[in-house]
Amino acid sequence: MKLKNQVALITGGGGVLGGAIARKLAAEGAKIVLFDIRAEFAARNAEAVIAAAGVAEPVGLDITDAAEVRRVIDELHARHGRIDILVNCAGGSARGRMKSFHEQSLDVVRDIIGVNLFGTLHCIHAVSRHMVAAGSGNIVNIGSAVAVQGLVGCVDYAASKGAILSATKSLAKELSPLGINVNCVSPGQIPREHPDDPDDFARRHSFLNRIGTPDDIASLVVYLTLPEAGFITGQNYIVDGGRTLAMQGSDLRA
């Protein structure tokens, strides 16, 4: 176990991806803290970690509240004596509220950017002080292939995730000399539920003959926290089955 006794905080810990990351980090010996505004979802994923002989605790937290984020993280640090890993997984697109930007409500735009970008920055701001004092740490942000390619109806989402990519590079330049690695993992199309026609889905959304899974993302996230990845910082890794290789005006697969 390469992360034995390390403390890992995961935002969006009640989601499918947050749960996959939690299980894989716990398998390496990390003690898991799952943040989610939906405390009951975080508790469900914590139970799955504990059932597999891991250590996990759920924490209900609204990461858009900077003062509450600071209070909770300071309390966790005081109780555990350390915070080694932060994975910023909370956020998402407007989904059912998606519209062309000129038709979109600015309230929706603020909501998306508030969670995706400011929520991420709030957590990094609160955690990084403790990591700097310790002289070590790993921060992994979850970006998106949309931040690189753009997507109709997702200007707010693309803007927030694009900002995370830029922030990752700037934070790496600031924090890496102090012993803290900062990287980003950008998923492609990872379905929350199994598609009705998996072969068609795989063909439309990747160049591989299978569907991307949360474990595909989680495996890379965990690798970036391991000693083997100690010389990697400020990078963005796109995990999309080659989806971003497609060109406008061509079929995804010729």
Active site residues: 157
Which residues pair with residue 62 across a beta bridge? none
Number of H helices, E strands in the chain: 9, 7
Q: How far apart are CA 170 and CA 183, in angstroms?
A: 11
Q: How far apart are CA 131 and CA 116, in angstroms?
A: 22
Token pair 């995370």: residue? 164
Which residues pair with residue 88 across a beta bridge? 11, 141
Token pair 């966790």: residue? 76
> What one-character-per-residue DSSP string does 5-17 give?
T-EEEEETTTSHH
Q: Which of 158, 17, 164, 33 is nearest to 94 (CA)?
A: 158
Q: Is the dihedral of CA 28, 56, 85, 163 positive or negative?
A: positive
Q: How far apart are CA 45 and CA 242, in angstroms?
A: 30
What residue type is assigned to position 198 of the chain?
Answer: P
Q: How far apart are CA 67 and CA 222, in angstroms?
A: 28
Token digits of residue 99: 């519209």
DSSP state of 241: T
Pairing of strands 7-11, 85-88: parallel
